[in-house]
Amino acid sequence: MDLQRENILDAHSVWVGKLPKNFFSSSINPKELMGAARKCSLLYVPTYDAQESYVSAAAQSGCAIVFSMCDVAKLSGIKRAILISKMRILLGMCKKYGTNVYVCSLAYKEYEIRNPHERLVFAMYLGMDRKEAKKSLGMLEEKLKGMQ
C-alpha cells in the first residue's frame, strides 16, 4: 500500500486525501464520533466539545484526537480565546483518560502549513509539557508505520 508517507511527513501536516481509509475521521455528531473513535486512528472534532463518551472510546481503541493550529489561526478576539479554552478543556480530558493527542496544522493552503517547532510551542501553550508535546508531534509517523 503506497501511502506517499514522505509527502505527508515533509509537509508537517495531515493531508487527509493521502491517508488510508478509516485512518482519519471528522464529525461534530456525538454518535458518529463514538463509532469513529472505535475504528479510526485520528479523530478530528472541529468544535472541540469535550465529551467523555468519545474521549474514553478513543483511549480504549488507541485513537488519537487531533488539535489543529489552523482552527485557532483563522479566528481572532474572543472567538479565538473561547476556542483555545475549549481545546484546553478537551486536552485535560484526554490526559484524564489517557487518550493520545496529535497536534497538526490541518492546512488547507500551502502558506497555512506550520513547522514542527511552531506546533511544539502550540502544544505547550495548550497545556502539554515538553515531553508530551514532542510525543504528539511524532504521532502521525508512528500511526502510519503501524498501518503498513
The predicted pLDDT at position 148 comes to 55
Angle between helix axes 139-147 and 130-137 (nearest 10 degrees) is 40
CA distance 40 to 34: 10
Residues of the chain with pLDDT under 50: 1-12
Rounded CA-CA distance 9/112 in Å is 15
Taking the whole predicted model, whether its pTM rises above 0.85 is answered as no
pLDDT at residue number 20: 65
pLDDT of residue 108: 74
Query: How many domains would you assign to the chain?
Result: 1
Q: What nine digits make up the cell of 106?
A: 490541518
pLDDT of residue 11: 41
CATH number of the structural domain spanning residue 137: 3.20.20.140
Q: Which domain holds residue 56?
A: 5-147
